[in-house]
A = this chain, B = another copy of it.
Amino acid sequence: MNPEDKGRRKILKGALGTGVLAAGAATAPNLLFPALAQGERLVPFTDPQSESFQWNPIQPNTTHWQDTRAITNYFTDNDDFYLVQHYGQPEIDNDSWRLKVTGMVDNELEFSLQELMGRNIIEQQVGFECGGSSQRLLHGLMGNANWRGAALNSILEEAGIQEGAKEIVFFGSDISTEEIRGREVEKAFARSLSINDAMRAENMLAFEMNGEPLPHYHGKPVRLLVPGWYGVANVKWLTQIHVQNTRYMGRFMGRDYVTLKRTDIGGTERWVENSVTAMNLKSAIVRVIESGGQYRVQGFVLNDGTALESVEVKVDDGPWERAQMNPRNTKYSWKLFSYNWDNPSSGEHTLVSRVTDVNGNVQLRQDQLPEKVSFWEDFGQFERKVRI
């Protein structure tokens, strides 16, 4: 690594570009998802998902989701950012923690936390959701934060990936027993990336979340972050990075986080299974605010970082109408939007949003998407109901 890069703090936000809509979007404060002001009120949703929705604060070793109707900050509180763990939440001592880089590298490396903090540091806004986030939980397995950490590609360049290497496996410290082919074995949580995917400039070994040291629940002291991908890629409690010439096929690569769907494969209808990787283009409405008879419909977008063309909102059988984007949105953050709903009539209404990216990909209705058996990757349009 170039010594001049050491410890240099880069803000990737600018370098990588923001969504095309950001520059021209209105900067009205109502776009910033603040807490409700005096005279503002949330209009309750009347759809079944909202009526059956339950929420709890974080509890150890438990899945946690946020109440998306209560989003009031651009950054999710660390105590409310979603949590899914499969093998518990190991207690790690920062002083004795080490990160090893091993396998098909010219130089095997070992970092203390202090040493890692002295490498090429980047800072980014990254929002993501669990591959299993769903309408049932109002898409609450989600969060958006400001992260700081070491650039993964610098670390890999320092190690020197050897000819013939194909994959990089990221092992967490969270370990449990799996039964595989009749044998109980201890396995660490692990995910792999191809060399190309691993070398993306955005990938980081994050040790800071919203200005705090990475909290215990979120993988203290260091987790991998792969911006634009579903959360399963972001291995927590990271302890080893291993370069190899074969494909890693542990449970979270080969068996879970694999989407089974029936779809058109080059003109042939086939059932296929694909790994859960980059986030699909998705929007959802999360709150409706009334203030002095004026209504605003607000929501979020998550995707793989491709710039957006538009977010539109439709009321009942009306036309699709453009929403405004929050000017704070960045390439890999969630993208918040707001739509002014003029003069709604009294009674129940159906609201839905759809997002389109600059490549012409459009968020489809559930019934337009391929038939799917596994529950991962729930990104169809999400109809909400409110009563005015």
Spell out A's residues near B (CB within 8 Å). 100, 102-103, 108, 166, 169, 171, 180-183, 185-188, 190, 194, 196-197, 240, 242, 244-251, 253-255, 258, 260, 262, 265-268, 270-275, 277-278, 373-374
Contact = CB atoms under 8 A, between A and B. Distances in A.
A254 B273 contact: yes
Majority secondary structure of chain A interface residues (helix, strand, loop or mixed): strand
List the 9 shortest-distance A-B pairs measured between CB atoms, nearest first: A102-B266, A254-B254, A247-B275, A185-B271, A246-B274, A249-B258, A183-B373, A249-B273, A250-B273
Given A273-B180, A274-B249, A240 B265 contact: yes
A280 B357 CA distance: 46
Contacts of A266: 100, 102-103, 108, 240, 242
Given A246-B274, A253-B254, A273-B249, A265 B102 contact: yes
B265 A103 contact: yes
Nearest to A257: B249
Contacts of A278: 245-246
18 contacts: A102-B266, A180-B374, A183-B373, A185-B260, A185-B262, A185-B271, A186-B271, A187-B270, A188-B270, A240-B268, A242-B265, A245-B278, A247-B275, A247-B277, A248-B273, A248-B274, A249-B253, A249-B274
Contacts of A277: 246-247
A197 B265 CA distance: 21
